[in-house]
Chain A
């Protein structure tokens, strides 16, 4: 459905759009917007609404790392089973099964490098199927959630032009 798809396009760039403004932009009734959003939430298409935050810009301890994870499957244990165990940790921000040199890509956050390291060595590495972890601490973020963190584009157009 075209309106649903367009609604997702708008919300994925600005989830704070009001229902009325969404309705105006999509040329539908506000009630329709409410209903579409409710459907998308119920269907598990929309899981939530978050701010895109540049944590480095505030003086707060916030450390993130990408972790490569290799696992060995057996007859009883598949990727799903392993993923189910890992996603439960609140420290894990994202978990993806990827193609290439390793199996899972995990994003982990913590208050310090120490706490993140401890989490990997105490909670992730000991999982029986896990054969290897490689932790990459994030040193700087330039873009996240589709948003550039650098200087915002200045509008240098003439203020009035033909």
Chain B
């Protein structure tokens, strides 16, 4: 069949291979999962069921249900983000759709889009689908995987049109504080770069509050903030996210959205309204559980002598066993039945590292750490 060049140019995800290897056996403890092990809070699930029982199965407004946008506006104000539910918030089918919409709305063919590496695997393909040219910007273990202006400069990002920024970060678990973000913000203002800030893990930070780059001077007018319900509310399968930005930006994204998606899933929107209305405690409980697992995993890594910086966000640790990360991950899976994702899957900067997800129950996590320790000892 005749496949378009821009699709052909995108290789199959390296995650796929590990998925298939892991699926081959049934004794695997997977630390390779990029979604919560919890289910969505029961109150949110019942709201979805209730909406179905009442027959609420039609489209919503393109922007999403007005009530939901109001709850979103109220919720993000805790990070100092102020957006009008009328024209500055767009509800999307997962944060993934929001990223895609932003790339299609703001990237002209041939435009350069800077993507820090390692990062979530969808950005580079998304840039290509939009006709843009991805520009990798390395982040380093010695900087705790924070994006620095030096690295932006060195990679030639001063000439970029758009920067995709994802903190708290998948796969590293890195977060950025206000001082570190300010340097990046100044760089973007000086070089007139639009920022797509994927803050899907914003609610999952440990020991410090999330800072959004959009709250820094000169950034609101050049930033689209993306968030959603998948991670904080454990609603991945309900596919619901949102984008926030100046009216012109949201209008541009909505133009693509209204022709391609029409509106985000209605049932999920009902669940999300209830999630924001009444499930704050459930989120806090999940966050506390993640934090305990995070400390546990980091503590075990340190006991095994496995190098790992202190990740303070999302639900990932990013240890560095040294050597070939793919071979390490394959051997670990083969000999101990523990699945992790090799860091190089997330771009050059991830080479030599492993993404270890602690979105797994404590019992499995303990067993997986014991197996990893055995593996390291035997090696």
Q: Is B32 an interface residue (CB 8 A)?
A: yes
Contact partners of B288 in chain A: CB under 8 A: 6, 9
> What number of A residues sit within 8 Å (CB to CB) of B?
18
Contact status A157-B292, CB under 8 Å: no
B17 to chain A, nearest CB (A): 9
Contact partners of A157 in chain B: CB under 8 A: 33, 35, 37
Task: Please name 11 further chain A to chain B contacts, defined as beta carbons within 8 Å, in addition to the given A160-B32, A161-B33, A162-B34, sorted by A numbering.
Answer: A9-B288, A25-B292, A155-B37, A157-B33, A158-B33, A159-B22, A159-B23, A160-B19, A160-B30, A161-B32, A162-B170
Contact status A14-B362, CB under 8 Å: yes
Contact status B295-A26, CB under 8 Å: yes
Contact status B295-A24, CB under 8 Å: yes
B198 to chain A, nearest CB (A): 13
Q: A158-B33, A159-B30, A162-B121 are in contact. Are A21 and B22 (CB under 8 A)?
A: no
Among B23, B292, B296, point to the contact of A6 (Cβ < 8 A).
B292
Q: A6-B288, A21-B366, A153-B39 are in contact. Are A159 and B296 (CB under 8 A)?
A: no
Contact indicator per residue, chain B 333-360, by CB within 8 Å of chain A (1) or not (0): 0000001010000000000000000000
Binding site for A on B (CB under 8 A): 13, 15, 18-19, 22-23, 28, 30, 32-35, 37, 39, 120-122, 170, 288, 292-293, 295-296, 299-300, 339, 341, 362, 366
Contact status A162-B15, CB under 8 Å: yes
Q: Is A27 an interface residue (CB 8 A)?
A: yes
B216 to chain A, nearest CB (A): 29
User: What number of residue pairs across chains A and B have CB atoms under 8 A from each other?
Assistant: 58
Contact status B18-A160, CB under 8 Å: yes
Binding site for B on A (CB under 8 A): 6, 9-10, 14, 21, 23-27, 153, 155, 157-162
- Max count, chain B CB within 10 A of own CB: residue among A21, A25, A155: A25
Contact status A161-B292, CB under 8 Å: no
Closest 9 CB pairs of A and B: A160-B32, A24-B299, A25-B292, A160-B19, A159-B22, A159-B30, A27-B295, A24-B296, A161-B34
